[in-house]
Amino acid sequence: MPHYPDMTTYAYATSDQEMLNVGWLAPDCAYRTGIVDDRVIDALKALSSAYDNQTRGVHDCEFCSTERPVILGGPAYDTQVWLGSAEIRAQDAAGTVYSAPNLVIHYITEHRYCPPVEFCRAVVRTAGMDTTNELTLAD
Ligand SMILES: [Zn+2]
């Protein structure tokens, strides 16, 4: 899978929508780690069943030997979602759209990746979850 630094302009596939990259990690590139609010993880799982920009190929996690991680996602968290072959997209209140590989869920839960706060707010907002209380993101 290609590596793109967080918050750079999306270029993985052609799209009419301008987007920013988040979570396109690679083993030889350092990434921010930390504790991510459960609401962010729940929101990503809820959005994952949309399988945005699904590709034919599968990207395995390059940080461990897990083959095709699977999670329970979708609005009711009862849909099996295979990670590694689609993206998750989210839009913030200002209209900025973010694109992350759906492996970002695995990166957060298994490899302590902490995405940019702008992205975290956007996914919770896009999933229609309560954003009254500020998200917890700690190093
Ligand atoms: Zn992994």
Nearby residues of 136 by Cβ (< 8 Å), 6 or more positions away: 35, 36, 37
In this prediction, residues 78-102 reach a mean pLDDT of 95
pLDDT for 72 = 96
Domain boundaries, the chain: 19-138
CA of residue 116 to ligand 1 center, whole Å: 19
Rounded percentage of the chain residues whose pLDDT exceeds 70: 100
In the reported structure, the alpha carbon of residue 131 is separated from the centroid of ligand 1 by a whole-number distance in angstroms of 29
Contact 109, 102 (CB under 8 A): no
Do 53 and 131 touch, CB atoms closer than 8 A? no
Mean pLDDT rounded to a whole number for the chain: 92
Pairwise CA distance, residues 79 & 83, whole Å: 12
Give the model confidence (pLDDT) of 45-76 as tens digits: 999 999 888 887 788 899 999 988 999 999 99
Tell which residue, 131, 127, 125, 113, has the closest CA to residue 74.
127
pLDDT tens-digit readout, 96-114: 999 999 999 999 999 999 9
CA of 95 to the centre of ligand 1 (A): 31
> What pTM was estimated for this model as a whole?
0.93
Q: Which residue, among 85, 132, 110, 86, has the nearest Cα to 33 in the 3D structure? A: 110
Interval between CA 35 and ligand 1 midpoint (Å): 17
- CB neighbour list of residue 125: distance below 8 Å, 6 or more residues apart: 90, 91, 92, 93, 131
Measured in Å, residue 63 CA sits from the centre of ligand 1 at: 5
Residues 6+ apart with CB under 8 A from 87: 12, 52, 53, 99, 100, 101, 102
Q: Which pLDDT score is estimated for 13? A: 80
pLDDT bucket at 11, cuts 50 / 70 / 90: confident
The mean per-residue pLDDT over the stretch 116-121 comes to 96
What's the gap in Å between 130 CA and the centre of ligand 1?
29
Least confident of 21-25, 38-42, 54-58, 91-95: 54-58
Considering all CA atoms of the chain, what is the largest pairwise distance in Å, rounded to the nearest integer?
39
Ligand 1: centre distance to CA 30 (Å): 15
